[in-house]
Amino acid sequence: MQYGHFDDASREYVITRPDTPASWINYLGSRLYGGIITQNAGGYSFHESGGTGRILRMRFNGVPVDQPGRYLYLRDDESADYWSASWQPVGKPLSADGGDDGRYACTVRHGLGYSVFTSRYAGITADFTCFVPEGQAFEYWALRVTNTGTAPRRLSTFSYAELANDWHYRQDLENLQYSQYVVQATVRDGMIHRFNRTRTDLRSLFFGLAGAPVVSYDTDRLAFLGAYRTPSAPLAVERGRCSDTEVTGDNACASLHTTLELEPGASRDLVMMLGIGRPDAEWEGFPAGRKLLAEFGTPERVAVELERLRSGWAGRLGALQVHTPDPELNSMINVWHAYQTHMTFNWSRGVSLVEAGDRDGLGYRDTVQDMLSVAHSIPGAVRDRLDLVLTGQTAEGGGLPLVRPLTHRPGHEAAPPLESYRSDDTLWLPLTVATFVHETGDPEYLATVLPYADRGSDTVLDHLLAALRFSLAHRGGTGLMQGLAADWNDCINLGVSGESVFSTFLFHAAALRTAELARLVGREADAAWCEEQAAAIGATVNEVAWDGDWYVRGISADGVRLGSAAADEGRIYLESNVWAVISGAAPADRAAACLESVHTHLATEHGLALCEPPHTHPVPGLGLSLLVFPPGHKENGGIFCHSNSWAIVAQALVGDGDRAYDYYRSYLPARYNAQAEVHQSEPYVYSQFTHGPASPRFGESRNPWLTGTASWTYVAVTQYLIGVTPVGDGLRIDPCIPTSWDGFEVHRLFRGHWLDITVRNPGHVTRGVVALTVDGGPVPGAVVPATLLTGPDGTRHAVTVTLG
Ligand code: GLC
């Protein structure tokens, strides 16, 4: 079943049927004022934090799942019939042919930072555009109503938003004996002012309407909806008038009602704005709402701001664009997948329909990995975030499990007890720092001195060395890294007595990356030390962890080998085997063998399962987390998409582009576009996992948007399949592609220069650069040397690569 299509030229996904199998969402705004919106205008918004700055309320896990939201009702004041500018909440029976049959139709264009709902019903077309203008702390709800019929029409429109009573989302939803008695709202000259005086929080909200006079209003939710009613049939809309309520206590809402008279063919524009601040006075740098409404509340200004938003995204995404023979890959990499990497970077794991805002802090490992995919497009923001996470590292070298950007105080945070550290957290740092340094060509960064979370400070390079030392200091009985609280897989809790093969391989990769960086700044002795440690650990892990046909996943506190052929459950795991290859620790024969085993035991039509068979009984000496999920769900044998990306990387590293590409296609959301009932989540977004073969929901994907899948799959495609990777001395172009491809093009910004890269594959090989030219001149090897990128910033360079 198909519900929409990609419109790459507009950078939009167009939903033509709003009754999608799950809510298909989009993101609005920035870290100043952000939110989400579904294809039915459900969703919420917040100031700075989804956890502590809640503006629009969301009842998580409600029925339907995406209510309330940003609702605009239209009412025919002659017939009293009414509908909504998005299909829900009124939910009129849907047309089968886009509205020509007289039934309701709605097309939703999710764009980058905005959504546009175009509904057709009863001779009226309504275009509802929702977005947060760049740099602003308010959201636009812009409505254009057009009479497409032959008779004059008298209409009413009503806005409706349920405003949270308390800024803290949990207080608002749970602590009702308190939160229901704090809210107040007034309405003066048609503008709503919602405020509370909760503890020290004096923030307020305004909601205003431009383009028509306010005829009536409600700020009391009950008055607007009516008792025992839902947003599908509010009393005020049914009656054609609000009750002019100014709420004190119970629950607030924002409804402004106006009336329109439309001749045939005529259109009217209304602009509504909901934002942080007070109607008539500036407050803490937020301009008065009435002033903002006067300045921004015209359709012309809405158009200007929308264009600014769109061109901002075009610029950020333009830093890397591809044209390959695979249109779905192109749609994803050029638009949606790239956008998802930015949303994951912005919101970490705190803002979606399944992430309620509780995880306000930045999970250490997630945050470090999220940066890998955006260093080329927003290097400044990445540097700030890198600085932040480096100061979330403790002096002993591990990471705080959560870094809280709004309250983080380097030098004053308490170091966690050893058992609470994750064994992988800071081992991701060398990979990300290397990505940033190579992208920007700025090794100076390594000499930047930054404080630790608890005490002392060091250069960035020394922070990386501290991460390695922390790992080395916490090894188990066989010499592998202790698993500690978790080791990337949150459900594998090996503790201080168990050992993690995954973290051991990650250490190997991290040590080699740190050596490379140390050498870049002339710290030879440190580079040599890193290489020695990598070699020693590499030898140990190959001795201890090889199981015959693959590597085990870990050794439990009781000495049980997890991920061994000798076990009855969890016999083979994905992460240890793909990282054996990525880390460079596996010799060629073992690399080939373990990847073959992965293919044999874990590959399915929807991606690679994380382990097989899933667990149903405890593994002696291992925490029980794996068992919390039924077989085939999440980490217990689900198709955990994040780790699927590593299989692409590993296959590319061993030079098998056909299999790497098959793995990519197997969990590519876009490939489900015409089979949305199978995948269910948005076809334009990666999910955290897809139910594995042991689950009755095999193939259904869950937890879309905020997942490490976004960053790592982007890295896997752009740096390993497409093969364009920044390195110390330039840009390496070493693709590993399916043999069926004739070639492809890449346009990439690199250190201020534009590279127009054409790759040709006349012999239909999978890999192997036989010729490289830069601006017409031949260059040996596969690296475009940075020294050849002459001219001012913005200069374009033609690069050709021939495979053979
Ligand atoms: C979730 C967590 C991430 C973890 C992964 C595997 O995605 O956010 O930190 O690595 O699950 O357990």
Q: What is the pLDDT of residue 729?
A: 96
Q: What is the pLDDT of residue 230?
A: 96
**Which of ligand 1's atoms lies nearest the C-alpha of 492?**
12
Q: What is the pLDDT of residue 625?
A: 82
Q: How confident is the model at residue 436 (pLDDT cuts 50, 70, 90)?
A: very high
Query: Among positive and negative, which fits the CA dihedral 531, 532, 533, 539?
Result: positive
Q: Is 490 in the pocket of ligand 1 (CB under 6 A)?
A: yes
Q: What is the pLDDT of residue 201?
A: 75
DSSP string, 233-249: S-HHHHHTS---B--BS
Q: Is 365 in the pocket of ligand 1 (CB under 6 A)?
A: yes
Q: How confident is the model at residue 357 (pLDDT cuts 50, 70, 90)?
A: confident
Q: Is 489 in the pocket of ligand 1 (CB under 6 A)?
A: yes
Q: Considering only 48-62, 297-311, 356-370, 431-445, which range has the smallest mean pLDDT?
A: 356-370
For residue 12, pLDDT over 90 is answered with yes
How far apart are the CA of 488 and the centre of ligand 1, in A?
6
Q: What is the pLDDT of residue 677?
A: 97
Q: What is the pLDDT of residue 97?
A: 86
Q: What is the pLDDT of residue 99?
A: 86
Burial (0-12, 13-18, 19+ Cβ within 10 Å), 357: buried
Mean pLDDT score, 349-354: 94
**Which of ligand 1's atoms lies nearest the C-alpha of 349?**
8
Q: Is 363 in the pocket of ligand 1 (CB under 6 A)?
A: yes
Question: For residue range 688-732, what is the model confidence (pLDDT) as tens digits?
Answer: 999 999 999 999 999 999 999 999 999 999 999 999 999 999 999
For residue 421, pLDDT over 80 is answered with yes
Question: For residue range 219-246, what is the model confidence (pLDDT) as tens digits?
Answer: 999 999 999 999 999 999 999 999 999 9
Q: Is 349 in the pocket of ligand 1 (CB under 6 A)?
A: yes
**Which of ligand 1's atoms lies nearest the C-alpha of 490?**
12
CB 688 within 8 A of CB 682: no
How far apart are the CA of 748 and the centre of ligand 1, in A?
30
What b/e readout covers 19-58, taking b as 16+ CB neighbours within 10 angstroms? ebebbbbbbbbbeebbbbbbbbbbbbbbbbbbbbbbbbbb
Q: How confident is the model at residue 251 (pLDDT cuts 50, 70, 90)?
A: very high
Mutate to test the pocket of ligand 1, among 488, 500, 641 (most ligand atoms within 8 A of CB): 488
Q: What is the pLDDT of residue 86?
A: 98
Q: What is the pLDDT of residue 548?
A: 98
For residue 198, pLDDT over 80 is answered with no
Q: Cα–Cα distances in Å, from 36 out to 88, 194, 608?
A: 16, 21, 30
**Which of ligand 1's atoms lies nearest the C-alpha of 363?**
9
Residue 368's SS3 state is helix
How far apart are the CA of 770 and the centre of ligand 1, in A?
40
Alpha-helical (H) ranges within 319-404 are 327-331, 337-347, 364-370, 379-390
Q: Which residues are annotated as catalytic? A: 490
For residue 623, pLDDT over 90 is answered with no
Q: Is 488 in the pocket of ligand 1 (CB under 6 A)?
A: yes
For residue 482, pLDDT over 90 is answered with yes
Give dist(CA 64, CA 172) in Å, integer: 20
Q: How confident is the model at residue 358 (pLDDT cuts 50, 70, 90)?
A: confident
Mutate to test the pocket of ligand 1, among 642, 646, 689 (most ligand atoms within 8 A of CB): 642
CB atoms closer than 10 angstroms to residue 525 = 8
Residue closest to 44 by CA, chosen among 58, 33, 61 = 58
Q: Is 708 in the pocket of ligand 1 (CB under 6 A)?
A: yes
CB 97 within 8 A of CB 131: no
For residue 199, pLDDT over 80 is answered with no
Question: For residue range 367-389, what is the model confidence (pLDDT) as tens digits?
Answer: 999 999 999 999 999 999 999 99
Q: What is the mean pLDDT of the chain?
A: 97
What token pair was written down for 552?
A: 């085990």
**Which of ligand 1's atoms lies nearest the C-alpha of 640?**
6
Q: Whose CA is nearest to atom 9 of ligand 1?
A: 366
Give dist(CA 499, CA 481) in Å, integer: 5
Give dist(CA 497, CA 485) in Å, integer: 11
Contacts (Cβ under 8 Å, ≥6 apart) of 733: 723, 724, 757, 759, 769, 772, 782, 783, 784, 799, 801
How far apart are the CA of 634 and the centre of ligand 1, in A?
10
